[in-house]
Chain A
């Protein structure tokens, strides 16, 4: 793995913490995809304190948001086909965010593990309930990957 990728909800959580993403995550190598960016900003007026706060979080990232490349689209399409029998269905934006993390070998930090936990090849950290009181996220949380077989939280069906 070479760094971390932020899901949209995590950008909001970092903003709410008042910390920089580097301090919150505990690593300098943090990125966010353009797909997550649109979730972060859509429906927020530009003069809203949250809009300005989200901008401040993203300004701290060393790299510009990652663009959606043909390779990401290709893998996202493959994931959506592979999990077409999965319930709940793999949404397009989640497929693109997962594909981006897989292809860039980043650990996805998300509060929506429900949307990602069954995707083979993806490694993620569950950010739910993390408040950065006792250290950074990666000091206190381990990264996990999908394991084969059914899960109690969804009706996972084996890939076709």
Chain B
């Protein structure tokens, strides 16, 4: 069975080296973590790969990858809390931006509430 056959059958593979770079960890540490999770490590010639799907499941990454609300909230939190140069915004600057942004959302919530009340009355 070739590596391509394996991917066709078990899904995308990722090399141990790539995984180590992703986690900013030594290959040995990643290998130990994979062993602890019972994730099979496969060797083809000079390549050592693992099934990406099992890595995502084993380390609880699948839920995060599929929760785009969480990812969006995290991005919003970072953008609102830090300036473009990476320095944290003072609380006054943060609040000023919140107060500049929120009126349009508040207006939309108010309009949605009025539509809801109209529906209840109808």
| Chain A residues proximal to chain B, CB less than 8 Å | 8-9, 12, 16, 34-35, 37-44, 46, 50, 55-56, 58-60, 64-65, 67-68, 73, 76-77, 80, 91-93, 95-96
Contact = CB atoms under 8 A, between A and B. Distances in A.
A43 B116 contact: no
B109 interface: yes
B102 A38 contact: yes
B89 interface: yes
B80 A59 contact: no
A39 B77 contact: yes
Q: Name the residue in A38, A55, A56, A77 with the highest tally of chain B Cβ atoms < 10 Å from its Cβ.
A: A38
A8 B106 CA distance: 15
Q: Do most interface residues of chain B lie in helix, strand or loop, or is the interface mixed? A: helix
Given A38-B76, A38-B80, A59-B113, A65 B95 contact: no
Given A65-B106, A91-B77, A44 B115 contact: no
Contact of B102 (A37, A93, A96): A37
B101 interface: yes
Contacts of B105: 37-38, 41
A59 B73 CA distance: 20
B109 A34 contact: no
B76 A43 contact: yes
A42 B60 CA distance: 26
Interface residues of B, number: 29
12 contacts: A9-B70, A34-B106, A38-B98, A38-B102, A39-B76, A40-B73, A50-B69, A59-B115, A68-B98, A80-B91, A91-B77, A96-B95
Contacts of A59: 109, 112-113, 115-116
Interface of B: 69-70, 72-73, 75-77, 79-81, 88-89, 91-92, 94-95, 98-99, 101-102, 105-106, 108-110, 112-113, 115-116
A73 B95 contact: yes
A93 B70 contact: no
B88 A43 contact: no
B98 A35 contact: yes
B109 A55 contact: yes
B113 to A, nearest CB: 4
Contact of B98 (A9, A16, A34): A34
A50 B115 CA distance: 18
Contacts of B91: 73, 76-77, 80, 92, 95-96
Given A38-B98, A65-B102, A12 B76 contact: no
B116 A92 contact: no
